[in-house]
Chain A
Amino acid sequence: MDYARFLRLRRPLWDDFGRRLAALRDAPGRRRQAAASSYEEVEKLAFAYRQVLHDHALAATRFPGTGAARQLAALALAGTRRLTRRGVAWRGLRHFVFHTFPAAFHRQLGLLGVAAAVFGVASLLGLVLSAVQPGLGNLLLGPRALAGLAEGRLWTESLTTTVPPAVASSGIATNNLTVALVAWSGGVLAGVVPLYLLVLNGLMLGGVIGITLRYSMAGELLGFVAAHGPLELTLIMVAAAAGLALGRALVTAGDRPRTEAMRQAGNDSLQVVLGCLPWFVVLAVVEARISPDPSLPVTLKAALGLGLLLLFFGAALGPYRAAGDGDGGDGD
């Protein structure tokens, strides 16, 4: 077939396909519109796409470099982008909360255990270090906070005296969310960043408890953290475990290509982190408004802390059992 005849016979079809694609692109709410299109319309579009693909293959072989070959290549790519889609589509918030998140969380329980163990060991180390190295208090809290402890005041009082609760909530939430996202994304560096965050937070917690023990203020500190601490530390560990999942995929990809292993681990673990993010917002309100309130009894704060922790684990594990196994991860 000569070039001019090829153009004369096939070009109306390309133009028609281009018009259909443009209509799909320009239509408001195009996905819904496409979904609502008649079967006949969809069939016509698919048929035209296939013809364009075949013409592209012919032009690329017989008429390489020509305007027709370039136009067909662009049309074929545009058609592929519009008409094909990889992965599973977003199935709605309800499905995410009651199935996707719990399923992904369950798959990550082993690494959560590893993260908890690292954090626990680091906390113990911090506790021991604070006992044998009195200078650690100065390093962790600063001289001003130490002077306050000597006078029987926790440094956390400044949360209610110097900053309005709304600002404190916002600051705490964004800080914790950033830590969680960094813990996850830093996992791509072979898991070094989540490990660092776990060790650092563990050392700091143990160290701070040790220092307050020395000043006989540990009860006051535990009273302050009782409401928000259990869940906050758990969420940090969950985010770090998600980061470790990424690191594990990089280091031990097995017989799969590393990129593929990391892509799968990334999709799966990000779902866990996304499921945790709203809890950080709740915790920030608790930490800024309830935890520093001296009028609330410690037992109430502890009950709230325990309740929040149970609620989280209930949401993360409970619905999963009801849904059963088999969610391989809703990638897209």
Chain B
Amino acid sequence: MANLDRESILALDNIRLDLPLAGAGSRCLAGLIDGCGVAVLLFLWLLLCSILAMWVSGGWGLAVGVAGIFLIEWGYFAGMEIATGGRTLGKMAVRLRVVTAEGAEAGAGSLLVRNVVRDVDYLVGVPLMAADPLARRLGDRLAGTLVVHEERQQSVLLGRVPPGWSAREVAIVESFLARAGELRDAATRDEMARLLLSRIERDAPELLAGLDESRAAAPVGALRQALGAEEG
């Protein structure tokens, strides 16, 4: 509870919500991707302007080119974040999003503020993020914003739980079932499933009724069936 006001927010009725804050590493990765995106945009823009310059006289091709470069350099981040509700191409790739310190969608003003000081943040942003428990750079402090991970909601929920099982045991089984498909070592995976099945046999043998055949052939499937596991 010590860091209640620093690492979590209080929503309606003072209910605590923990924000999945993005650290300096993932934010730098998103920034790197955005940097590449800006470079590609600038290249395409210059290409377009050089073609335009061949058709239009009076230096208008160059004039539009100069104005466009300014807009891309100063407007890409703010423009993207305003248009997409707090995401740039890099943030989309790394699954990050800008929100207010209250966890709400950031407004256009906040998104503008945090991006206009980006040049200063190129100098001091990374150390500031590393030193701050909320991983805020200067722009975030000015705008009152945070960058959070967009959590994938894929999880497994157990429809039946043997009596006496604690939340920790439920969480372990759910995590195992959620990841079982990704485990490469099939023998170890099946062995773990059999161990869990033996626990169920001890605590609630009625859950295993009719699963004798599948327990031997496909223990993970039997475990799913026994506990009524569903994708969340």
Contact = CB atoms under 8 A, between A and B. Distances in A.
B212 interface: no
Given A62-B167, A81-B103, A331-B110, A166 B74 contact: no
Contact of A65 (B9, B12, B20, B171): B171
Contacts of A64: 167, 171
Contact of A266 (B66, B143, B153, B159): B143
Chain A CB count within 10 A is highest, among B70, B119, B138, for B70
Contacts of A65: 167-168, 171
Contact of B106 (A18, A164, A332): A332
Interface in B170-196: 170-171, 174, 178
A77 B9 CA distance: 10
A214 interface: no
Nearest to B60: A166
A164 B157 contact: no
B74 A181 contact: yes
Contact of B156 (A67, A167, A274): A67
B83 interface: no
Contact of B12 (A50, A184, A263): A50
A66 interface: yes
A76 B232 CA distance: 15
A54 to B, nearest CB: 7
Interface in A160-189: 163-167, 169-171, 173-174, 177-178, 181-182, 184-186, 188-189
Contact of B232 (A2, A63, A68, A85): A68
B78 to A, nearest CB: 11
A18 B151 CA distance: 14
A259 B171 CA distance: 39
Interface stretch (A4-12, A113-121, A132-140, A303-311): A4-12
B18 A174 contact: no
Contacts of A174: 66-67, 69-70
Interface in A305-332: 330-332
A66 B171 contact: yes
B119 A182 contact: yes
Contacts of B15: 53-54, 56-57, 76
B11 A76 contact: yes
Interface residues of B, number: 65
Given A53-B13, A77-B151, A63 B144 contact: no
A153 interface: no
B46 interface: no
B99 A81 contact: yes
B199 interface: no
A256 interface: no
B109 A331 contact: yes
Contacts of B113: 266-267, 270
Contact of A77 (B64, B66, B103, B157): B103
B104 to A, nearest CB: 4
Interface in B18-70: 18-20, 58-60, 62-64, 66-67, 69-70
A163 B120 CA distance: 32
Nearest to A60: B16
7 contacts: A3-B161, A4-B159, A77-B151, A80-B9, A81-B105, A181-B74, A184-B116
